[in-house]
Amino acid sequence: MSEERLKIVAGNWKMHKTYREGRELALDIVERLTTTQTMVILCPPFIHLKSISTIINDITHLELGAQNCHFAEQGAYTGEVSASMLRSVGCTWVILGHSERREYFGEDEALLAKKVDAALTHGLRPIFCCGEPLEVREAAQHIEWVQRQLEGALFHLEADEFARLVIAYEPIWAIGTGKTATPQQAQEMHAAIRQMVADKYGAQVAHKLSILYGGSVKPNNAKELFAQPDVDGGLIGGASLRAEDFVTIVKSF
């Protein structure tokens, strides 16, 4: 059944690469990735979006995402970028709720619910991140933790709105640490998320939802993770900064 779902690999560049380096990385990825069944999304810093949108313009398997957006349409929010601005430079996706945004910028479920609404209103598809810290996993509360994140930020949506979303499960203890969740841990959570979505929106919406795993995905572990029935791809941080590694991960399905 899972083959009906969109397979996605998204590269979250975080705060890396100068303008020139960003162009070089995007061009390198384009050159190495001539064909794939997987939807590949590049999520560079804001300042790269326009130039990379030009680079990947006509390539059907490559799309552009931002790493964040503001909840307001426009206004006096110094330093912020709105969803409609992102659309206007060719973005079709936006990462929301990344654990680094939650931790360093105080983003909580109530704020994320507003950002999700803004993104959907302006035609951006959110890649909504969820995931537990180590102490929550050690206390075996990880499923309840993620359930609360989804309920607080997403479950106000109508089913047709929710159907535009992709969820990325990123256990915080696995991000940038080199400590990946085992394929079994990822599968357990992904199946639990799909069940939560089924309970809320019905089996069909749940079945169609792409759920990505993120947290130290590398060329040498992607295959095993992506082989899990409920893992529909990955959100890649560190390994998305080297074209060779990123493309190897894309080809791991």
Which residues carry out catalysis?
98, 170
Closest contact distance (angstroms) between CB of 95 and ligand PGA is 8
Closest contact distance (angstroms) between CB of 172 and ligand PGA is 9
Cβ closest to ligand PGA, residue 68 vs residue 201: 68
Cβ closest to ligand PGA, residue 204 vs residue 220: 220
- Planar angle of CA 108, 154, 197, nearest 5 degrees: 135
CA dist 241 and 245 (Å) reads: 8
Bridge partners (DSSP) listed for residue 236: 11
- 110: tokens are 């109530």
Closest contact distance (angstroms) between CB of 236 and ligand PGA is 5
Tell me the one-letter amino acid at 172: I
Closest contact distance (angstroms) between CB of 41 and ligand PGA is 12
Tokens 């560190």 sit on residue: 238
- Alpha-carbon distances, residue 175 vs 75, 96, 98, 104, 213 (angstroms): 33, 16, 10, 14, 11
CA dist 73 and 76 (Å) reads: 10
- 90: tokens are 């060719």
Q: Could you give the 3-state DSSP secondary structure of residue 95?
A: strand
Tell me the one-letter amino acid at 65: G
Q: Which residue is nearest to ligand PGA (CB)?
A: 237
Sign of CA dihedral 36, 130, 166, 181: positive
- 225: tokens are 């993770």
Cβ closest to ligand PGA, residue 107 vs residue 201: 107
Closest contact distance (angstroms) between CB of 161 and ligand PGA is 24
CA dist 155 and 116 (Å) reads: 11
Cβ closest to ligand PGA, residue 205 vs residue 241: 241
Cβ closest to ligand PGA, residue 41 vs residue 116: 41
Residues that bind ligand PGA (CB under 6 A): 12, 170, 175-176, 214-217, 235-239
